[in-house]
């Protein structure tokens, strides 16, 4: 959509409409919110042709603009993908209500009863790039958690996103809720995002989902809170007591199962006292799976010359390959491993592989990444895998949510105080 | 202190030193952290003369620069005030450890055990204005919660703050902790604050404490999360069933006990069905206490002409008087009261006075301020009064902490995962 001259006022009007719709959604009971999700899932399938036609327009334009095949694949919708989006909406229905519960309650000496009650955050802005399924996934999580949402997708997915948002809005209307609780900003200029990020008066939280450039832009411009993660540089530390029978499958899984995602392992730290024969066995397994190892001088001595073995440079430590590459470093001891992680890690996910109770407890205490694991693959750092039911993103910012964010992280608490006439002395 | 040419590098060096000190403090056990607090309290009294001499320098300079008496009083330290600061540090020792506990733990179908463990936020920046006691209060809360802190006080309190920080650092050194865990930025230019606010690499959270100008400056410049509140426009809604015997003392207390603070009431909303004789009784009590009422046309009819009764203008709704002034508005019903609060409130604290169970429950559900009360004075919206043990500030931002913030709000959780070799399928 061509941006109007009064772009700021137009963006603000969208945000204020979402804010006005928020209390109605926040006050809706669980049955109503679930009803909106089920209706939206139905309408998504009923309007499949419309959604695919809109996506076809986006694809045609993207193709003529020279978009790469990989990016086109992200943008593409087909019947199975839309069915997956509908199924994701339906799967939210079975999750418990994140709202209304009182986390804790206590009585003061003056008999005031004080509790902390779960409420929605209010209005959430989601700023994302190519994948149109984010429109229904994020809107669904917000509806379930009683939050109004303002979506701002990438320009290349504009028609797809608008078609999906229309369906989500029809779901809201179907149960008597204000459709503006799912709003979309259709202006494609980055200026529209910059405007949105000044509307602290209307937006309680912004979640950017996309590349590092987008995330930095949002962080620098936003006046409201931002939850984000820049990247995932996950480490596995092999302790001297690790069993090779556990190390090989975990490292393989963490690197190879899906190398392009943020919870794949990027650096393997190996204790100098771990038998070198074991390290060779792990390397063989990784080579056989097509992994190139970027190794420190000491591990190069152990592993010798191999086509998939290159000497690491300083740039390999802390690097997010997102590919079949793995940095390997031999470290003196656990202290050196933790120091390496503190220096080069991204606060995402780290794992220790060990048979030692003391080493495990120490690693869990000393490593302050958002997810710290013992004897498990880093690939479990995911809201669904950890049991949160659903995930709107992962945060490596410590405030509010640290690590995978589920429905509960889309809520906050207010203090509720039950008095009988108390005054302060 | 005159700022050096390489101000950014100097500020960054301070921040990185605090970051380097943070893991040592985070890993210190409760006894060590409490020992630092007790030692700092002792040293504060031992060095009383030094602290007062430093404060005397600040006062002399401020007086010659023409500072008002009210501001000079904020800046002034004397023996009782410093003893109060030492007592505040000691009082933290008795509070439970906010660190190390696991909030919840569950087992996944694949037998992974997943928990959320309490950890410090890391490094906290506190940016404040005239009161030097903030230096020890905030540093004490951070030490107790295992957080390194970077303090940046106002230029008028520079010598006082440096003397207090030196004492806090000696407390840390006394128990073998790195004194850089309490760091101070001694450069007085606002540019130094602006530099600090770009250091997302080193600082996990910034808390501005001061006037609205300072808070807006911090919000606009910070790339890291900010917790703040701009102002407190607290409302009391008198429901038609409220007992006048409860209303008068609560409204008086909320307005008069300490009118200059953010949890004092600023607007009284009175249900149109509440007996007018009762409203007159409340007004008489307020007038007798020296309060000026800024009344709507309808309540003016009820209250008549009085020297302390002026017609309200639109500017009176949502105004933070911080003085013996109170806006009064008659509203049609509870719905109108809630609509008024949504429009003019500041998400700080609102109270309903009522005998109706249904009205109380509805108010608690519908009003989304950070503290919502039934039949109690708004003056209880305070960390100490609500039972948090201590308070570092109040947040009207919904993320992470909403309302008074205690020690627990200076922590976050990381996921800890106990595996037995699991890989993702």
Choose among B171, B195, B193: nearest CA to B181. Answer: B171
Q: Note whether A33 and A169 are same-domain residues.
A: yes
Q: What is the DSSP pairing of strand A393-395 with strand A205-209?
A: unpaired
Contacts of B415 in chain A (CB under 8 A): 370-372, 381, 386, 403-404
The whole-angstrom separation of Cα B277 and Cα B255 is: 20
Q: Note whether A248 and A224 are same-domain residues.
A: no
Closest-CA distance of chain B to residue A402, Å: 6
Choose among B413, B423, B418: nearest CA to B119. Answer: B413
pLDDT tens profile B190-202: 899 999 999 999 9
Evaluate whether residue A415 is within a structural domain: no
Q: Which pLDDT value is given to residue A393?
A: 87
Average pLDDT over residues B220-242: 92
Q: In the structure encoding, which two tokens stand for residue B201, read together? A: 């690499």
By the CB < 8 Å criterion, does A308 face chain B?
no
With a cut of 80, say whether residue B1 has pLDDT above it: no
The whole-angstrom separation of Cα A66 and Cα A234 is: 34
- Going by pLDDT thresholds of 50, 70 and 90, the confidence category of residue B2 is low
Question: A330 pairs with which residues across the strands?
Answer: A270
> How high does pLDDT run on average in chain B?
95
Evaluate whether residue B419 is within a structural domain: no
Contact flag A385-B424 (C-beta cutoff 8 Å): yes
By the CB < 8 Å criterion, does B104 face chain A?
no
**Interface probe, candidates B201, B236, B398, B418, chain A, greatest A C-beta count within 10 A:** B398
pLDDT tens profile B119-145: 999 999 999 987 899 999 999 999 999
By the CB < 8 Å criterion, does B213 face chain A?
no
Contact flag A416-B372 (C-beta cutoff 8 Å): yes
> How high does pLDDT run on average in chain A?
95
Choose among A333, A65, A315: nearest CA to A188. Answer: A65
Q: Note whether A197 and A262 are same-domain residues.
A: no
Q: Which of A228, A244, A269 is the last residue of a domain?
A: A228
Q: Note whether A69 and A212 are same-domain residues.
A: yes
Contact flag A416-B200 (C-beta cutoff 8 Å): no
Whose tokens are 């490292």? That residue is: A251
What percent of chain A shows pLDDT beyond 70? Answer: 100
Q: Which pLDDT value is given to residue A15?
A: 98
Q: Taking a contact as any Cβ pair under 8 Å apart, which residues of chain B between 26 and 55 contact chain A?
A: 26-27
By the CB < 8 Å criterion, does A343 face chain B?
no
Q: Note whether A192 and A287 are same-domain residues.
A: no
Contact flag B416-A372 (C-beta cutoff 8 Å): yes
With a cut of 90, say whether residue B211 has pLDDT above it: no
Q: Note whether A270 and A209 are same-domain residues.
A: no
Q: Note whether B70 and B196 are same-domain residues.
A: yes
Q: Sheet containing A148-152: which strands, arranged edge to edge?
A: A182-184, A148-152, A123-128, A205-209
Contact flag A402-B414 (C-beta cutoff 8 Å): yes
pLDDT tens profile B317-370: 999 999 999 999 999 999 999 999 999 999 999 999 999 999 999 999 999 999
Which of B106, B204, B414 is opposite residue A370, by nearest beta carbon?
A: B414
pLDDT tens profile B96-115: 999 999 999 999 999 999 99
Evaluate whether residue B413 is within a structural domain: no
Q: What's A303's domain CATH number?
A: 3.40.309.10
Q: Note whether A196 and A288 are same-domain residues.
A: no
State which residues form the domain around A251: 234-382
B33 contacts: CB under 8 Å, gap ≥ 6:
B25, B143, B144, B146
Q: Note whether B163 and B263 are same-domain residues.
A: no
- Going by pLDDT thresholds of 50, 70 and 90, the confidence category of residue A83 is very high
Q: Note whether B151 and B191 are same-domain residues.
A: yes
Q: Which pLDDT value is given to residue A1?
A: 56
SS3 B420: strand
pLDDT tens profile B400-419: 999 999 999 999 999 999 99
By the CB < 8 Å criterion, does A97 face chain B?
no
At CA A223, angle to CA A218 and CA A224, rounded to 5?
Answer: 90
User: B93: buried, middle or exposed (CB in 10 Å: 19+, 13-18, 0-12)?
Assistant: middle
- Going by pLDDT thresholds of 50, 70 and 90, the confidence category of residue B230 is confident
Alpha-carbon dihedral angle through residues B185, B191, B196, B199, given to the nearest 10 degrees: -150
Q: Which pLDDT value is given to residue B112?
A: 97
Distance of alpha carbon B249 from the chain centroid: 26
pLDDT tens profile A377-386: 999 999 999 9
- Going by pLDDT thresholds of 50, 70 and 90, the confidence category of residue A19 is very high
Evaluate whether residue A412 is within a structural domain: no
Q: Note whether B63 and B133 are same-domain residues.
A: yes
Domain count, chain B: 2
Q: What's B154's domain CATH number?
A: 3.40.605.10
Q: What is the DSSP pairing of strand A411-422 with strand A113-120?
A: antiparallel
Whose tokens are 């200026």? That residue is: A191
Evaluate whether residue A396 is within a structural domain: no
pLDDT tens profile A349-360: 999 999 999 999
H/E run at residue A217: helix A212-221
A284 contacts: CB under 8 Å, gap ≥ 6:
none
Q: Note whether B178 and B325 are same-domain residues.
A: no
At CA A324, angle to CA A319 and CA A329, rounded to 5?
Answer: 50
User: B335: buried, middle or exposed (CB in 10 Å: 19+, 13-18, 0-12)?
Assistant: exposed
Evaluate whether residue B401 is within a structural domain: no
pTM comes to 0.92
**Interface probe, candidates A363, A412, A420, A425, chain B, greatest B C-beta count within 10 A:** A412
Evaluate whether residue B416 is within a structural domain: no
Helix then strand then coil, in percent of chain B rounded to 5, is: 45, 20, 35
Asked if residue B184 lies in contact with residue B165, where contact means CB atoms within 8 angstroms, the answer is: yes
**Interface probe, candidates B412, B420, B425, chain A, greatest A C-beta count within 10 A:** B412
SS3 B125: strand
Average pLDDT over residues B263-291: 98
Which of B108, B403, B424 is opposite residue A387, by nearest beta carbon?
A: B108
**Interface probe, candidates A261, A362, A415, chain B, greatest B C-beta count within 10 A:** A415
Q: Which of B228, B257, B277 is the last residue of a domain?
A: B228
Evaluate whether residue A103 is within a structural domain: yes
Q: Which of B160, B194, B228 is the last residue of a domain?
A: B228
């Amino acid at each position: 959509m061509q941006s109007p001259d009064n772009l700021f006022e137009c963006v603000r009007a969208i945000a204020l409409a979402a804010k006005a719709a928020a209390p109605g959604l926040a006050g809706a009971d669980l049955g109503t919110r679930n009803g909106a999700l089920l209706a939206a899932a139905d309408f998504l399938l009923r309007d499949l042709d419309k959604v695919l036609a809109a996506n076809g327009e986006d694809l045609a334009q993207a193709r003529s603009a020279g978009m790469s095949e990989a990016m086109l694949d992200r943008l593409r919708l087909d019947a199975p993908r839309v069915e997956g989006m509908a199924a994701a909406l339906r799967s939210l229905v079975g999750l418990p209500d994140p709202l209304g519960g009182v986390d804790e309650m206590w009585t003061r000496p003056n008999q005031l009863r004080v509790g902390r009650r779960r409420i929605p955050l209010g209005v959430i802005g989601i700023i994302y790039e190519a994948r149109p399924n984010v429109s229904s996934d994020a809107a669904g999580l917000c509806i379930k958690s009683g939050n109004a949402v303002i979506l701002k997708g990438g320009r290349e997915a504009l028609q797809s996103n608008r078609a999906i948002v229309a369906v989500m809005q029809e779901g809201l209307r179907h149960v008597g809720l204000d459709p503006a609780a799912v709003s979309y900003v259709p202006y494609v200029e980055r200026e529209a995002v910059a405007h949105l990020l000044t509307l602290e008066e209307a937006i309680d939280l912004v979640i950017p989902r996309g590349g590092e450039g987008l995330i930095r832009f949002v962080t620098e411009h936003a006046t409201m809170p931002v939850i984000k993660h820049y990247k995932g540089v996950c480490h596995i530390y092999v302790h001297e007591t690790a069993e090779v029978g556990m190390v090989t499958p975990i490292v393989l899984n963490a690197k190879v199962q899906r190398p392009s995602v943020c919870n794949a392992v990027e650096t393997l730290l190996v204790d100098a006292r771990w038998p070198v024969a074991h390290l060779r066995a792990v390397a063989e397994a990784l080579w056989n799976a097509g992994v190139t190892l970027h190794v420190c001088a000491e591990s190069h001595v152990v592993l010798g010359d191999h086509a998939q073995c290159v000497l690491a440079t300083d740039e390999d430590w802390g690097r997010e390959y997102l590919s079949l590459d793995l940095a390997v470093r031999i470290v003196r001891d656990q202290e050196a491993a933790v120091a390496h992680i503190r220096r080069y890690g991204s606060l995402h996910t780290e794992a220790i592989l060990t048979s030692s109770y003391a080493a495990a407890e120490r690693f869990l205490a000393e490593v302050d990444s958002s997810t710290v694991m013992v004897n498990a693959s880093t690939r479990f750092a995911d809201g669904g895998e950890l049991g949160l039911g659903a995930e709107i993103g992962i945060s490596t910012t410590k405030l509010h949510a640290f690590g995978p964010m589920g429905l509960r992280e889309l809520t906050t608490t207010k203090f509720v105080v039950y008095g009988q006439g108390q005054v302060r002395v």
